[in-house]
Amino acid sequence: MSDPIVVTGLRRAFTQGSRTIEVLRGIDLTVRAGEIVALLGPSGSGKSTLLQAVGLLEGGFEGSIRIAGQEAATLDDDGRTRIRREALGFVYQFHHLLPDFTAEENVLLPQIIRGAGSDAAMARARSLLGALGLGERLEHRPAQLSGGEQQQVAVARALANRPALVLADEPTGNLDETTADRVLAEFLRLVRGEGAAALVATHNERLAGRMDRVVRLQEGLLA
């Protein structure tokens, strides 16, 4: 099985008028199957920029990104969409759930888009939401859920298609400390149970310490 992430010599700069800011200055990072890696760095250090590149959401970089064995530079739009759909799950700081759909429907949709049958998709959605303690919240819409519950639904959605790799960008950054601890613990338990790998951006040392490995983003490089 290929490593979920192999990044070598990744560089990304942003030009604004006459100024160029080098945000990523030569990143090397491998994440192995089933490994949960914390990407630690202060605000503005480039964590989101790195996750967006690895998630094949943004071009404009130099270097090599291999996701699930596929070199990003060799993929066209369809190829990138296929990898995102089949190999990747995303969790953001703000849940980005569809407001007019229930919790269950939000977890169903990515499976239906990928071509799953509706019975299997529904069973998977219920199983994931049940494992997160949301078995009584299947019919709730996002606005009817607490912030912690919204993030749990987003976690269930990210895992719906059994991705090899979950990319999470400050997944508990919008929650109070107690809720953040609980949601992160459940996220880690579920990701481990699924055998998925994860790259989790955070500026919180304490939360980072609960993952398998910590890499630090400093001045555009990983220490």
Identify the residue among 4, 23, 48, 149 touching Mg ion (CB under 5 A).
Answer: 48
Q: Does 55 bind ligand ADP (CB under 6 A)?
A: no
Q: Does 44 bind ligand ADP (CB under 6 A)?
A: yes
Instruction: Determine the size of the site formed for ligand ADP (CB under 6 A).
Output: 12
Query: Where is 199: in which H helix or E strand?
Result: strand 197-202
Query: CB of 129: closest distance to ligand ADP in angstroms?
Result: 29
Query: Where is 193: in which H helix or E strand?
Result: helix 177-194
Q: Does 41 bind ligand ADP (CB under 6 A)?
A: yes
| Residue 45 binds: one of ligand ADP, Mg ion, none (C-beta under 5 to 8 A by kind) | ligand ADP
Burial of residue 70 (number of CB atoms within 10 Å: 0-12, 13-18, 19+): middle
Residues 66, 42: Cα–Cα separation, whole Å: 26
- Our CB check for Mg ion shows the closer of 48 and 150 to be 48
Q: For residue 188, which phi and psi values (nearest 5 degrees)?
A: -65, -40
Q: Does 45 bind Mg ion (CB under 5 A)?
A: no
List Cα–Cα distances, 212 to 189, 197, 215, in angstroms.
12, 10, 10
Q: Quick check: 21 and 13 in contact, CB under 8 A? A: yes
Query: CB of 169: closest distance to ligand ADP in angstroms?
Result: 7
Distance of CA 44 to the CA centre of its chain: 18
The DSSP string of 160-181 is TT--SEEEEESTTTTS-HHHHH
Of 25-33, 42-50, 135-143, 160-168: span binding ligand ADP (CB under 6 A): 42-50
Q: How many helices (H) and strands (E) does the chain have?
A: 7, 10
Identify the residue among 6, 10, 35, 47 touching ligand ADP (CB under 6 A).
Answer: 47
Of 13-21, 100-108, 114-122, 140-148: span binding ligand ADP (CB under 6 A): 13-21
Query: CB of 135: closest distance to Mg ion in angstroms?
Result: 32
State the CB neighbour count (10 A cutoff) for residue 109. Answer: 17
Q: Does 202 bind Mg ion (CB under 5 A)?
A: no
Q: Site residues (CB under 5 A) for Mg ion?
A: 47-48
Residues within the interface to ligand ADP (CB under 6 A): 14, 16, 21, 23, 41, 43-49
